[in-house]
A and B are shown apart, each in its own frame.
Chain A
């Protein structure tokens, strides 16, 4: 049940593009045609899910002030009175480690699918480099770390927070793809529509996005937080 709520919340109620304003650059830049927006959406789902997993592990092993922190464990070998709370690196290193992890992850995925799956590389390859600077990916990892980690509390089961983070990453990607697909459908029709010359392209796309966001506003009461 918890997971269903997370999925509905991330796809419809707090859609990453239309409500949270994350990932607007690819949303406007790549949504001109249906097939490219499918490719971009798949790539984002893939990277967002994996990024959620990887950053959760980084937070557990390096950033969090828990006994799982590797730095704490090393220090504990030498000084018996070292405390986990001395190793709260979260505020200091979160941004740096997360963005580096995402950049490395994207690079790694690109190399991996280039070698192993020609079809997948042809479909997603050109979109992968763009994803490093997609703020939806970093956004979902930061949100995960804030929401699920902070609410976990002392002694809460960590594996639940891990699953929640992964599900939120996946659902965020699905929400992004949904918005992209709707937008590309609208824009393919806009090409034929008689609109003022000054509004052609990005301005009209934003105005259509406004209408879409208005429609998505109707989902607002679906999940009570």
Chain B
């Protein structure tokens, strides 16, 4: 088993196991609230808080929880943290609370959080679980920042609320408001997932190319040997069939 470090777990969650682009889980809030960068960042911090808190509690409590009622116990812990987030956002950032709306209570059923609790926090020590929580949270933040900034720039012509392009009769640039509507979200996530799949495939091809020169010789040898065998077999068969036909004629 490979050795795990705090920092390694943190980085793994951001890029290699990015929850949105690689694991493809917890997509509902990613698509729903990324109409502006502010919302995206707010959602990411809310989810990260719940993720780190629930990872911490679950990895601490895992050995006391019987296996049969594991999932309901995890859900109770996650729901408690979600309620904290909900009350805090409602009190201190009412605008954000209004924008995110139903998706704050829905952090409870976000697959990222229950998935990490089940797959990681319940089996690993507290320190690593916190690192995993922070890493996955930052990965989620990265995904939300990418998607929401693209959508805000293309759809509203602004970023973090600041107008980037002033449109009037002279410039005649109009934002494509489809990008802040639902179809734009689906289109963008489809293209981004496609991009990540393409990158992954290209990387795999590069890795095989490095070992290719060495493999090429072996492959060629095996192929030529097999071909020789087949030729030999065919010749034998032909001989046999000729013999048998000869016999039957006789």
Which residues of chain B have C-beta atoms less than 8 A from A24's C-beta?
A: 27-28, 31
B149 located at the interface, meaning its Cβ lies under 8 Å from any Cβ of chain A in the complex: no
Q: Type the 1/0 row for A31-52, where 1 means its CB is closer than 8 Å to any CB of B.
A: 0000000000000000000000
Structural contact, A135 and B189, CB atoms closer than 8 A: no
A198 located at the interface, meaning its Cβ lies under 8 Å from any Cβ of chain B in the complex: yes
Structural contact, A21 and B191, CB atoms closer than 8 A: no
B190 located at the interface, meaning its Cβ lies under 8 Å from any Cβ of chain A in the complex: yes
Q: Pick from B109, B183, B201: contact of A217, CB below 8 A.
A: B183
Instruction: Name A143-175 residues within 8 Å CB distance of B.
Output: 143, 146
* Chain A interface, number of residues (Cβ within 8 angstroms): 46
A76 located at the interface, meaning its Cβ lies under 8 Å from any Cβ of chain B in the complex: no
Structural contact, B109 and A206, CB atoms closer than 8 A: no
Please, how many angstroms separate the alpha-carbon atoms of A24 and B178 in the complex?
20
Structural contact, B106 and A135, CB atoms closer than 8 A: yes
Q: Tally the A-B contacts, defined by beta carbons under 8 Å.
A: 122
Chain A binding surface, main DSSP class: helix
A134 located at the interface, meaning its Cβ lies under 8 Å from any Cβ of chain B in the complex: yes
B102 located at the interface, meaning its Cβ lies under 8 Å from any Cβ of chain A in the complex: yes
B212 located at the interface, meaning its Cβ lies under 8 Å from any Cβ of chain A in the complex: no
Structural contact, B83 and A139, CB atoms closer than 8 A: no
Chain B binding surface, main DSSP class: helix
The distance from the CB of A9 to the nearest CB of chain B, in whole angstroms, is 15
B24 located at the interface, meaning its Cβ lies under 8 Å from any Cβ of chain A in the complex: yes
Which residues of chain A have C-beta atoms less than 8 A from B183's C-beta?
A: 210-211, 213-214, 217
Provided the pairs A95-B79, A207-B191 are in contact, do residues A198 and B197 lie with their beta carbons within 8 angstroms? yes
A177 located at the interface, meaning its Cβ lies under 8 Å from any Cβ of chain B in the complex: no
A77 located at the interface, meaning its Cβ lies under 8 Å from any Cβ of chain B in the complex: no
Which of B24, B182, B184 counts the most A-chain CB atoms under 10 A from its CB? B182
Structural contact, B25 and A25, CB atoms closer than 8 A: yes
B59 located at the interface, meaning its Cβ lies under 8 Å from any Cβ of chain A in the complex: no
Please, how many angstroms separate the alpha-carbon atoms of A127 and B153 in the complex?
39
Provided the pairs A135-B110, A146-B102 are in contact, do residues A203 and B193 lie with their beta carbons within 8 angstroms? yes
Structural contact, B28 and A196, CB atoms closer than 8 A: no
Structural contact, A209 and B190, CB atoms closer than 8 A: yes
Please, how many angstroms separate the alpha-carbon atoms of A134 and B114 in the complex?
12
The distance from the CB of A225 to the nearest CB of chain B, in whole angstroms, is 15
Please, how many angstroms separate the alpha-carbon atoms of A21 and B24 in the complex?
15
By size class, the interface of chain B is 35 or more
Please, how many angstroms separate the alpha-carbon atoms of A112 and B87 in the complex?
37
Structural contact, B28 and A94, CB atoms closer than 8 A: no
A118 located at the interface, meaning its Cβ lies under 8 Å from any Cβ of chain B in the complex: no
Provided the pairs A100-B76, A209-B190, A217-B181 are in contact, do residues A142 and B201 lie with their beta carbons within 8 angstroms? no
Structural contact, A100 and B105, CB atoms closer than 8 A: no
Which residues of chain A have C-beta atoms less than 8 A from B86's C-beta?
A: 91, 95
The distance from the CB of B33 to the nearest CB of chain A, in whole angstroms, is 9
The distance from the CB of A131 to the nearest CB of chain B, in whole angstroms, is 10
In the A-B complex, the 5 residue pairs with the smallest Cβ-Cβ separation, listed nearest first, are A206-B190, A198-B198, A210-B186, A203-B194, A21-B32
Q: Could you tell me which B residues sit within 8 Å of A by CB distance? A: 24-29, 31-32, 71-72, 75-76, 79-80, 82-83, 86-87, 90, 102, 105-106, 108-111, 114, 178, 181-187, 189-191, 193-195, 197-198, 201
Known pairs A28-B24, A103-B72, A207-B190 / 18 extra A-B pairs, C-beta < 8 Å: A21-B182, A22-B106, A25-B26, A93-B83, A95-B79, A96-B79, A98-B105, A134-B109, A138-B106, A138-B108, A198-B194, A198-B195, A198-B197, A202-B190, A204-B190, A209-B186, A213-B186, A217-B183
**Would you list 8 pairs from A and B whose C-beta atoms are within 8 A, ordered by A residue?**
A24-B27, A28-B24, A96-B76, A96-B80, A135-B28, A203-B193, A206-B186, A207-B187
